[in-house]
Amino acid sequence: MDLVQLQRQFVDYKTSLYHEGFLDEQFTQLQELQDENNPDFVVEVVSLFFEDSERLLNELARALEQQNIDYKRIDAHVHQLKGSSSSIGAQRVQKVCIAFRNYCEEQNVEGCLKCLQQVRHEYSLVKTKLESLFQLEQQILTAGGSFPM
Amino acid sequence: MLSCGGGSGGCSKDMAVELGDEPHVLAVDDNLIDRKLVERLLKNSSCKVTTAENALRALDYLGLGNDTLEGTVSEVNMIITDYCMPGMTGYELLKKIKESSVLKEVPVVIMSSENIPTRISQCLEEGAKMFMLKPLKQSDVKQLTWHLMKCRN
């Protein structure tokens, strides 16, 4: 695939991610913070997000397995996940977190378990998509292209 | 909601920082991603940045903590802190700073992901210079640091 085709594919893919609600305006903000002095900023922050989210998801699963569920602790974890997903623009993950917190407040274990499943799903989707986006970006750079296009 | 500390208190006393020097900001947030983000936003606005992952560490850094070592107190021109933190909240941190004769003139900005009017007015009443909603944008921080520089000169 030549550079122009790659670039078109990249733009189309990125547009679709916004269109489908996987990413929001905050992701654009992140990209605007990247420059020649900080060329890997977006990848760095997103990688931190991946690590942190995986840790939180594991903590959540563990907390929901307990005999006596500590809803305060669960809420604290979800609050963290909501915050970081919001900060990188992972809109669909953030939305599930909002519902998750409501179930925590109601101390509704069924609701919480359902949300955990949903948030895991949305997280996994956005992770795959962002990785694909970064891969396309890398291909463009390798083919001699540059950013912003 | 943007004020620059008028009145007899005036703007933050210049903590021995020369004109033209980069302002030194202490950013406090328990969320790793948010810390990285606020650090970049502030650096892009020509600030020197120190981050702390909770209020207690922040207090130590400021010289108000129990574990502050003699001679290691650093000078900051502004503190920006998250509201919701485990242990001591940003609001409680704000109060401690305002109670300190040494630090009460340092502008404190509170950030929160939640838009709760009573929380906002509580912080402003306690002396916060500004309350900012997360996620932060570059334009928010540029505006903030512009005001900070204006106050210093």
pLDDT at B148 over 70: yes
pLDDT in tens, A77-121: 999 999 999 999 999 999 999 999 999 999 999 999 999 999 999
Q: Which residues of B touch A (CB under 8 A)?
A: 30-34, 36-37, 40-41, 44, 84, 86, 113, 134-135, 137-138
What is the homologous superfamily of the domain B24-151 according to CATH? Response regulator (3.40.50.2300)
Give the best residue of B33, B39, B41, B114 to mutate against chain A (max A CB count within 10 A): B33
Q: Tell me if A143 is assigned to some domain.
A: no
- C-beta of residue A74 within 8 angstroms of C-beta of residue A112: yes
Instruction: Give residue B150's pLDDT.
Output: 79
Q: Tell me if A145 is assigned to some domain.
A: no
Q: Which of A3-12, A79-88, B12-21 has the lowest mean pLDDT?
A: B12-21
Q: Tell me if A132 is assigned to some domain.
A: yes
Q: Tell me if A121 is assigned to some domain.
A: yes
Determine the structural domain holding residue A85 and report its residue range: 3-33+40-138
Domain count within chain A: 1
Spell A31-63 as b/e; 16+ CB within 10 A means b. eebbeeeeeebbeebbebbbebbeebbebbeeb
Q: Tell me if A144 is assigned to some domain.
A: no
CA distance B134 to chain A (A): 8
Domain containing residue A82: CATH number:
1.20.120.160
Instruction: Give residue B70's pLDDT.
Output: 56
Interatomic CA distance for residues B89 and B95, integer angstroms: 10
Could you tell me the pLDDT band of residue A76, with boundaries at 50, 70 and 90?
very high
CA distance A48 to chain B (A): 7
Q: Tell me if A134 is assigned to some domain.
A: yes
Per-domain residue ranges of chain B: 24-151
- Tell me the backbone φ, ψ of residue A37, rounded to 5 degrees: -80, -25
CB nearest to B33's CB, from A32, A41, A48 = A48
Instruction: Please give the ipTM for the structure prediction.
Output: 0.92
Selection from A72, A124, A75, A68 nearest residue A99 by Cα:
A75
Could you tell me the pLDDT band of residue B21, with boundaries at 50, 70 and 90?
confident
Could you tell me the pLDDT band of residue B6, with boundaries at 50, 70 and 90?
very low
Q: Tell me if A114 is assigned to some domain.
A: yes
pLDDT in tens, B124-138: 999 999 999 999 999
Residue A149 vs residue B56, higher pLDDT: B56
Tokens of B13: 């006393």
Tokens of A132: 């694909």
Averaged confidence pLDDT in chain B = 85
